[in-house]
Amino acid sequence: MKEYQTITEVSGPLVYVETDEPIGYDEIVEIETPSGEVKRGQVLETAEDYVAIQVFEGTEGVGQDASVRFLGETLKLPVTEDLLGRVLDGSGNPIDGGPDIVPDERRSIVGAAINPTAREYPEEFIQTGISAIDGMNTLVRGQKLPIFSASGLPHSELALQIARQASVPEDVADEGEETEFAVVFAGMGITQEEANEFMDDFERTGALERSVVFLNLADDPAVERTVTPRMALTTAEYLAFEEGYHVLTVLTDMTNYCEALREIGAAREEVPGRRGYPGYMYTDLAQLYERAGRLQGEDGSVTQIPILTMPGDDDTHPIPDLTGYITEGQIMLGRELNSQGVEPPIDVLPSLSRLMDDGIGEGVTRADHSGVSDQLFASYAEGKDLRDLVNIVGREALDERDNKVLDFAEAFEEQFVDQGFHTNRDIEDTLDIAWDILSILPKNELSRIDEEFIEEHYAGGESETADDAEEAEA
């Protein structure tokens, strides 16, 4: 292997090297500083006589006297089932003091796209035990459903609750199925404290044994963040499609990942796109988020829950915006609900699960699920609108019907959404609570639900008789 001492320029995370042999695009590079420190990097651009390299560990200590080795292959991660229970740094090196990893295979971390004809459409209901998700934004195996959060909101608690409670009800799971759950967790630029929060919970609940943790902390090099999620997803794909696990992948915080992309783009003096983020950010994010799903003929699955914090609570910011266009919905946290003390503070109206329709209904959850969900959305939306009106004209100015809708909206937040981070409700409970609060509304207001289900589940007899009385008068 040839060694070069021909660095011509060091700029931010980038190093330019003169070369006299062809170097492959995306190849891995080792840079050894005069003090003996070895840093790793990746080829970003290659031409006949020079190469641009992004250095994962930061360029401190790299000067023109450093030597550069090209390893002749793209970045690979050693994978094995034994990774379960291990804690690794953002570049895949163990940091838990455990034994070295003996790989079964070394896999390129740039995942290939799954052929859409080879995919299996995700439609297996995952019960998270959280009413606002199970009832109205149902998660299914193989889905990518991000949590859109903002600074100061408890997204970590929600992610942990999902990781703790996620299960597939027995009658939904395929017969004779014995595949296991595993969690792959990638922390990108999160603080030590946040990392501790996750690790403590994993250890307390015993989840660590079936987890693989990749940690790039806030004071770790930013460029490393661009490889951490790829390492995590490579592990997840291996566990799912080679070892047959159902893998839940939590990626947090995608905002830090995008900041790292912007940093590299700026260092390369690329033409910036919106708000300075690179124009290829959509493609780049898609290459991460699309690594979720199921394959025909394989038992395992990769389900993704990326977490991102929206700068300035703005969901039109490029990071949440591009994410929303790629992922199959989003779970939105609300600041207002949070300050009211609602746990988890899920704002259901802007939340969405695109894969919900095929994962619910008769034989899976319950026949009335779809109608109930639509009705909850419609009535809560109306209730929220009426609140604005109440602020102006007062509650007395509203008619009886509108007052009932307001009562419903309140009950919805207090009873349906605010269940606490440690309550695990099964889907029957969730739907029964939904009927309890829907019964605040008059029967004929439930236009989204089929009549037979109203007959079966509607609990409030009062409003019905009131209507009948009116009719009799007429």
Partner 1 sequence: MSQTDTVTDTGEIASVSGPVVTATGLDAQMNDVVYVGDEGLMGEVIEIEGETTTIQVYEETSGISPGQPVENTGEPLTVDLGPGVLDTIYDGVQRPLDVLEDEMGAFLDRGVDSPGIDLEASWDFSPTVSVGDTVEPGDVVGTVPETVSIEHKVLVPPDFEGGEVVEVNEGEHTVTEPIVVLDNGEEVTMHQEWPVRQARPSEEKFTPTEPLITGQRVQDGLFPIAKGGTAAIPGPFGSGKTVTQQQLAKWSDADIVVYIGCGERGNEMTEVIEDFPDLTDPKSGNPLMARTTLIANTSNMPVAARESCIYTGITIAEFYRDMGYDVALMADSTSRWAEAMREISSRLEEMPGEGGYPAYLAARLAQFYERAGRFETLRGDEGSVSVVGAVSPPGGDFSEPVTQNTLRIVKTFWALDADLAESRHFPSINWTESYSLYKDQLDPWFEDNVAADWPEERQWAVDVLDEEDELQEIVQLVGRDALPDDQRLTLDVARYLREAFLQQDAFHDVDTFSPPEKTYEILTAIHTYNDEAFAALEAGAPIEEITSIDAAPRLNRIATQEEYEEYVEELEEEITEQLQALY
Q: Return the range that interacts with partner 1 (CB under 8 A); candidates 8-16, 60-68, 154-162, 376-384.
A: 376-384
- Count of CA atoms in the C-beta half-sphere (13 A) of 104: 10
Site for partner 1 in 377-406 (CB under 8 A): 377-378, 381-382, 388-389, 392-393, 397-399, 402
Taking alpha carbons only, the member of 138, 140, 159 closest to residue 148 is 159
Q: Shortest gap between Cβ of 332 and partner 1 (angstroms)?
A: 10
| DSSP β-ladder status, 50-55 and 76-79 | unpaired
Is 160:204 a contact under the CB 8 Å cutoff? no
Binding mask of the shown chain, residues 223 to 262, with x at each position contacting partner 1 by CB under 8 A: ------------------x---------------------
| CA pair distance 444, 436, nearest whole angstrom | 16
- Restricting to residues 314-353, name those near partner 1 by CB under 8 A: 315-318, 321-322, 324-326, 328-330, 349-350, 352
> Which DSSP string corresponds to 396-463?
GGS-HHHHHHHHHHHHIIIIII---TT----HHHHHHHHHHHHTTS-GGG-TTS-HHHHHHH---HHH
Nearest approach in angstroms of CB 356 to partner 1 is 10
Residues 264-293 that bind partner 1 (CB under 8 A): 270-274, 279-280, 282-283, 286-287, 289-293
Distance in angstroms between the alpha carbons of the first and the last residue of the chain: 95
- Judged by CB under 8 A, the residue of 23, 147, 199, 247 near partner 1 is 23
CB of 307 to partner 1, least distance (A): 17
Cβ at position 88, least distance to partner 1 in Å? 23
Residue matched to tokens 């946040």: 194
Among 22, 61, 98, 420, binds partner 1 (CB under 8 A): 22
Closest CB to partner 1 among residues 129, 229: 229
Q: Scanning the structure block, which residue is given the tokens 């209730």?
A: 383
For the chain, what's the residue count?
A: 474
Task: Name the one range near partner 1 by CB under 8 A: 127-135, 197-205, 370-378, 457-465.
Answer: 370-378
CA angle 214, 267, 231 (to 5 degrees): 20
CB of 113 to partner 1, least distance (A): 5
Scan residues 77-116 and list those touching partner 1 (CB under 8 A): 108, 110-116
Burial class (CB in 10 A: 0-12, 13-18, 19+), 305: buried
Residue among 105, 414, 456, 467 that touches partner 1 (CB under 8 A): 467
Tell me the C-alpha distance between 37 and 60, whole Å.
Answer: 10
Which of 120, 180, 429, 436 binds partner 1 (CB under 8 A)? It is 120
Alpha carbon of 3 to those of 64, 91, 468: distances in Å? Answer: 13, 23, 90
* Per rule CB under 8 A, count of chain residues that contact partner 1: 89
> Could you tell me the smallest distance in angstroms from the CB atom of residue 120 to partner 1?
7
- Residue 450 CB neighbours (<10 A): 13
Q: How far is residue 234's CA from residue 9's CA, in Å, rounded to a whole number?
A: 33
- For partner 1, which stretch binds (CB under 8 A), given 158-166, 213-221, 309-317, 416-424? 309-317
Token reading at 204: 């307390």
Cβ-count burial of 316 within 10 angstroms (0-12 exposed, 13-18 middle, 19+ buried)? exposed
CB of 44 to partner 1, least distance (A): 7
CB of 52 vs partner 1, minimal distance in Å: 8
Supply the minimum distance, in Å, between the C-beta of residue 112 and partner 1: 4
- Interface pattern 153-192 for partner 1 (x via CB under 8 A): ----------------------------------------
Output the smallest distance, CB 148 to partner 1, in A: 11
Which residues does residue 78 pair with via DSSP β-bridges, in sequence order?
106
Q: Which residue lies nearer to partner 1 by CB, 192 or 444?
A: 444
Nearer to partner 1 among residue 24 and residue 154 (C-beta): 24
**Is the peptide bond prior to 253 cis by the omega test (within 30 degrees of 0)?**
yes
The smaller minimum CB distance to partner 1, of residues 267 and 398, is found at: 398
Report the site for partner 1 in 25-64 (rule: CB under 8 A): 25-27, 44-48
Residues 188, 253 contacting (CB under 8 angstroms): yes
CA distance 75 to 231: 10
Q: Considering the complex, what minimum distance in angstroms separates the CB of residue 164 from partner 1?
A: 25
410 contacts partner 1 (rule: CB under 8 A): no
Hey, which residues between 435 and 454 contact partner 1 (CB under 8 A)? 444, 447-448
Residue choice 35, 102, 117, 455 for contact with partner 1 (CB under 8 A): 117
CA 440 to chain centre: 34
Looking at the Cβ atoms of 16 and 280, the one nearer to partner 1 is: 280
